Chain A
């Protein structure tokens, strides 16, 4: 059984009386440990896909199985618990809480999973160490650079040891050098065996992931199998880079 299984998933929106099909009969399998990029132009439905996979939204029809749980008809409370324990989010705009320091931001998911004070602190520091941010634990987000904020956000995504990490344009708000550093951090996490799904509109970033899923008009346009083409693609992307 795959980590994530989508079967005939559709999502409809009503916008001014007009029906918009953001996702149209999507079926998809994602195995544990995969590093995948979801690519597509804006309005293609890739964000909708990520929201549904990330349990932030529910599909209109179809079934989704995540780590043995059927999530397409789960209650809001169950979805919150799944987001808390099985999913980590990394956003384009970092989305750290400005009033909390880095350590408190990283502790936030554990606050909602009921981890005790001392353990919470230890695990948050360990997660910050993993992204080399432990020396900035008591800084406010506003005192950090974009790259540092994004690393803190990654630490927050990692801290509850989730099954999947979703990253929505994680380099979109960073300069190219910092972006590369963040991407290499994702590579490192992937090498450690974590499942990462990276949403981007940048083909260059998508090219470096072993598997690409391209969304066009709410449908999966190309499906690249990681086992067949992954290694070549990485090599090609690296040779193209200056």
Chain B
């Protein structure tokens, strides 16, 4: 009996008992659907986390920070120079494994004011214009300051959207577009001209949340307003940090805001280095260290910081979510498989005579084995296909009822894996019944009532 006829026989058998077959398939359908939906949810989370990682400039960079002189070099403390522009120049001249490098002076305790409103930004830094690329910033309005602005130490700045919202009001509240370019703001009392506005940064999740909120009619809230705390904000820290930033040219910051009261040249807070290749992180750090050990006379008053640990945490979280979700979906697939086996065993004890007849007219043991096995696989395959459709529906429903989550993403890999699992379950569940059926003796089977 050729395989095509066997499959056809399998379909006929399933069609003959539609309701029973549907119930049998249900286990597989739910298993496959939950496997795919789970994977889509985890994938959504992964994409959200990766987005955040990209928002801070990805893994392909590191930062050089100062650190206290190590204990064994304490006696050289007075010779420690800290991070300065000579380091940056030396690195620019000698290191080869970077694409962009920028010194940064972070100014702490900053108060911004404009038009009678005050605001304290999370980050106010002086840097070179390439900081735009290193931090993956984009200009929405106006322009970034350039090398000339830096050279001339012009009083210009580029602000993020949250700074704008705090000082000039947000477009949502005001009901019109707010363009701060050209306005004057005061940073610690010194006047600066806003020449650029960064894009509004938000995660996919925040965007959906904002759109859902915009779709809601604005209800008049009664009673006293209150802050509901920080609970929901933590995951979006990266985006908020970028939005609540002010950048100035490095020289401007050095001269106007970070000037040492004693009159010396203020040190850099950090040096940002963007790599040519993520795979050469160690090499690049080694190279930078070699240069820096030279400029720092061997005193290790600097350290390196990368985003690797964060990336590892994300990876670990995704792995755990996938493992636990996969285990649960796997169990439901297993239950589906047991359902198939149960039904197939019941089915063959109702078909002993049929098996006897088939054997009498020339079916071999293998023919019978294959027939039962293929019936089981056909049930599983149909269940698997229906499960894929259900998964699609399930993911759509999850996306509809919970618009604030990361949008679930169905990957073709998840579909293939779930389908392959359903086929495997069909084969495993069919083995025992098929073996039992094939072993029946033709005479006994023919006489069976």
Contacts and interface: CB of A to CB of B under 8 A. Distances in A.
Contact of A83 (B5, B361, B366): B361
B1 A114 contact: yes
A49 interface: no
B318 interface: no
B362 A95 contact: no
Contact of B367 (A95, A96, A97, A112): A112
A112 B16 contact: no
B361 A91 contact: no
Nearest to B442: A56
B361 A77 contact: no
A114 B2 contact: yes
Contacts of A51: 443
A231 interface: no
Contacts of B1: 111-112, 114
A134 B353 CA distance: 26
A37 interface: no
Contacts of A99: 12-13, 16
A143 interface: no
Contact of B365 (A54, A77, A111, A113): A77
Given A80-B359, A99-B12, A99-B16, A112 B446 contact: no
Contacts of A109: 361-362
Interface string A64-91: 0000000000001100110111000101
Contacts of B446: 56, 91, 95
Contact of B361 (A57, A76, A84, A114): A84
Contacts of A76: 364-365
Contacts of B200: none
A80 B357 contact: no
B186 interface: no
Contacts of B120: none
B364 A77 contact: yes
Interface size, A (range): 20 to 34
A113 B16 CA distance: 25
A200 B361 CA distance: 21
B362 A112 contact: yes
A194 interface: no
Contacts of A81: 362, 364
A108 B443 contact: no
Interface string B127-138: 000000000000
A156 interface: yes
Contacts of B13: 99
Interface string B339-361: 00000000000000110111111
Interface in B370-422: none
Nearest to B358: A108
Contacts of A89: 360-361
A96 B2 CA distance: 21
B363 interface: yes
A108 B361 contact: yes
A111 B5 contact: yes
Contacts of B362: 80-81, 83-85, 109, 112-113, 160
A56 B444 CA distance: 10
A112 B354 contact: no
Contacts of B443: 51, 56-57
A112 B362 CA distance: 6
Interface string B33-57: 0000000000000000000000000
Contacts of A96: 357
Nearest to A113: B362
A80 B363 contact: yes
B365 A83 contact: no
A112 B364 contact: yes
Given A57-B443, A99-B12, A99-B16, A112 B363 contact: yes
A118 B357 CA distance: 23
Nearest to A88: B361
Contacts of A56: 359-360, 442-443, 446
A97 B357 contact: yes
A89 B364 CA distance: 16
A81 B359 CA distance: 10
Given A114-B2, A160-B362, 11 more contacts: A54-B360, A56-B359, A77-B366, A85-B362, A89-B361, A95-B360, A99-B12, A108-B357, A109-B362, A112-B362, A112-B363
22 contacts: A51-B443, A54-B360, A56-B442, A57-B443, A76-B364, A80-B363, A80-B365, A81-B362, A83-B360, A83-B362, A84-B361, A84-B363, A95-B353, A99-B12, A99-B16, A108-B358, A108-B361, A109-B362, A112-B367, A113-B362, A156-B361, A160-B362
Task: Report, nearest first, the 9 A-B pairs whose CB atoms are least far apart.
Answer: A84-B362, A80-B364, A112-B362, A109-B361, A56-B442, A95-B357, A83-B362, A112-B1, A111-B1
Interface of B: 1-2, 5, 12-13, 16, 353-354, 356-367, 442-443, 446
